[in-house]
Amino acid sequence: MIPMVDLKRQYHKLKNEIDQGMLTALENTQFILGPNVQAFEKEAAENLGAKHAISCASGTDALHLALVAAGIGPGDEVITSTFTFIATAEAISYVGAIPVFVDIDEKTFNMDLDAVEAAITSKTKAIIPVHIFGQPVDMGRIQQIADKHKLLVVEDCAQSYGADINGKMTSTFGIAGCHSFFPSKNLGCYGDGGMITTDNDDVAERLKVLRNHGSFERYHHNIIGYNSRLDELQAVILRIKLKHIEEYNRERRRAAHYYSEQLKDLVTPPQEDGIGTHVYHQYVTLTDKRDVIMSKLTENDIACAIYYPIPLHKQPVYEEQYKSQSLPVSEKVASQCMALPVHPELTNQQIDQIVSVIKSAI
Ligand SMILES: *Cc1c(COP(=O)(O)O)cnc(C)c1O
């Protein structure tokens, strides 16, 4: 059996340290905004080169809180990719703003930046670039577009922890960068968790208040906030895993490059555009033989998945609103994309095995 991610093997490598850390936190009983949460925020901010890191309950909340803190609200238009996880758009809808979906580039699966420029109207307030599957969006160009039209940039880094552009980390380009620590993410905890990074002191202050019931001072509530905190036990795990994130991402890249070498005549491997470092949250290929390959992989106990089968403008929840919209590249990619297992623990021998099953399928 080859799973999409091998969290068990990863846990066993860190078991002593994690078990010890958990026991200490349990004895300590400071479960809400405790010492590990505070230490993790400092360590993550330093690791990413951000002035502030504010943890919260999930990646979805990170996006939601970031939009609230940035002052995005009813009637504002927010441009994002149609080829992403639903949470990116949900956050826009939560604040009463209007998601404006744009098509993607077929090579990188990232937002088509000409399409972003073409989508700007007088109501546009922000852009949410999503570093899809771990490949950085061209943030230089995003910044130019944003500066020219006076737009805010909120990065969705749920799939790109540790990915950089010339040494500058994704999540440090816009007014806020949003991370997810969902278990299968490149930096994952053992439950839900999220974080926002920002260099803006006001935004950081607002985020700290928003995640904690709108309270600057205990039992004094100035605004309507939320209950959205990273819990202490998750922070213990994240602090331990953070020390290994560079190695994890390096191993993901090793696995991806090995795959691409073996697969290049069988399917279209994912392409790197060279703008930043791809950290391969997912290894997504294109093939018109997806059905036969996937059933053969399943037969052989090898996991595989479709990220994403339906672009957001075609999702039932948004379909009515975007009925007339056609975003042909994303629709084509959705019909041909196939994700194979990728994780730091995946060995080259396992990849050989996966490749030979794919070969036999076609
Ligand atoms: C995982 C993910 C999210 C949401 O993160 P959660 O922690 O699961 O809430 C948002 N955007 C993208 C692109 C994601 O992959």
In a domain, 344, yes or no: yes
Q: Is the CB of 151 under 6 A from ligand 1?
A: no
Longest dimension (CA), the chain: 65
**What domain count does the chain have?**
2
Q: Do residue 175 and residue 269 come from a single domain?
A: no
The residue contributing the CA closest to ligand 1 atom 1 is 158
Q: What backbone torsions phi and psi does residue 317 show, to the nearest 5 degrees?
A: -65, -25
Comparing 52-61, 214-223, 266-275, 302-311, the range with the smallest average pLDDT is 214-223
Query: What are 321's two structure tokens?
Result: 């609103």
Q: Is the CB of 158 under 6 A from ligand 1?
A: yes
Mean local confidence (pLDDT), 22-50: 98
Using CA atoms, how far apart are residues 80 and 77, in angstroms rounded to an integer?
Answer: 10
Using CA atoms, how far apart are residues 330 and 336, in angstroms rounded to an integer?
Answer: 10
**pLDDT digit string, tens, across residues 327-348:** 999 999 999 999 999 999 999 9
In a domain, 1, yes or no: no
In a domain, 186, yes or no: yes
pLDDT at residue 311 tops 90: yes
Atom from ligand 1 closest to the CA of residue 194: 7
Non-local CB neighbours of 213 within 8 Å, separated by 6+ positions = 221, 225, 226, 227
Q: Do residue 237 and residue 249 come from a single domain?
A: no
Q: Is the CB of 59 under 6 A from ligand 1?
A: yes
pLDDT for res 359:
97
End position of a domain, from candidates 221, 242, 263:
242
Q: Is the CB of 58 under 6 A from ligand 1?
A: yes
pLDDT at residue 150 tops 90: yes
pLDDT at residue 319 tops 90: no
Closest of 92, 113, 93, 95 to residue 103, by C-alpha? 113
pLDDT for res 95:
98
% pLDDT > 70, the chain: 100
In a domain, 115, yes or no: yes
pLDDT for res 222:
86
213-220 contacts, C-beta under 8 A, 24 or more apart: none
Confidence band, pLDDT 50/70/90 cuts, at residue 218: confident
Q: Do residue 187 and residue 272 come from a single domain?
A: no
The residue contributing the CA closest to ligand 1 atom 14 is 158
> What CATH number does the domain containing 152 carry?
3.40.640.10
Q: Say how many Å lie between the CA of residue 123 and the centre of ligand 1.
A: 26
Query: What are 107's two structure tokens?
Result: 């090579």
**pLDDT digit string, tens, across residues 231-254:** 999 999 999 999 999 999 999 999
Q: Is the CB of 81 under 6 A from ligand 1?
A: no
Q: Do residue 134 and residue 19 come from a single domain?
A: yes
Q: Say how many Å lie between the CA of residue 206 and the centre of ligand 1.
A: 22
Atom from ligand 1 closest to the CA of residue 91: 10
pLDDT for res 238:
98
Q: Do residue 116 and residue 218 come from a single domain?
A: yes
In a domain, 2, yes or no: no
The residue contributing the CA closest to ligand 1 atom 10 is 87
Q: Is the CB of 248 under 6 A from ligand 1?
A: no
End position of a domain, from candidates 242, 271, 290:
242
> What CATH number does the domain containing 281 carry?
3.90.1150.10
Query: What are 350's two structure tokens?
Result: 């396992």
Q: Do residue 52 and residue 200 come from a single domain?
A: yes
Non-local CB neighbours of 19 within 8 Å, separated by 6+ positions = none
**pLDDT digit string, tens, across residues 161-192:** 999 999 999 999 999 999 999 999 999 999 99
Q: Do residue 133 and residue 208 come from a single domain?
A: yes
Q: Do residue 308 and residue 285 come from a single domain?
A: yes
Closest of 236, 328, 319 to residue 23, by C-alpha? 236
In a domain, 213, yes or no: yes
- Mean pLDDT estimate for the chain: 97
Q: Do residue 201 and residue 237 come from a single domain?
A: yes
The residue contributing the CA closest to ligand 1 atom 7 is 59
In a domain, 199, yes or no: yes
pLDDT at residue 310 tops 90: yes
Full residue range of the structural domain in which residue 281 is found: 245-361
In the block, tokens 């990188």 appear at: 108
pLDDT at residue 217 tops 90: no
End position of a domain, from candidates 242, 276, 291:
242
Query: What are 212's two structure tokens?
Result: 């904690």
**pLDDT digit string, tens, across residues 82-138:** 999 999 999 999 999 999 999 999 999 999 999 999 999 999 999 999 999 999 999
Using CA atoms, how far apart are residues 316 and 73, in angstroms rounded to an integer?
Answer: 23
pLDDT for res 73:
98
pLDDT for res 323:
86
Q: Do residue 62 and residue 192 come from a single domain?
A: yes
pLDDT for res 340:
98
Q: What backbone torsions phi and psi does residue 220 show, to the nearest 5 degrees?
A: -120, 115
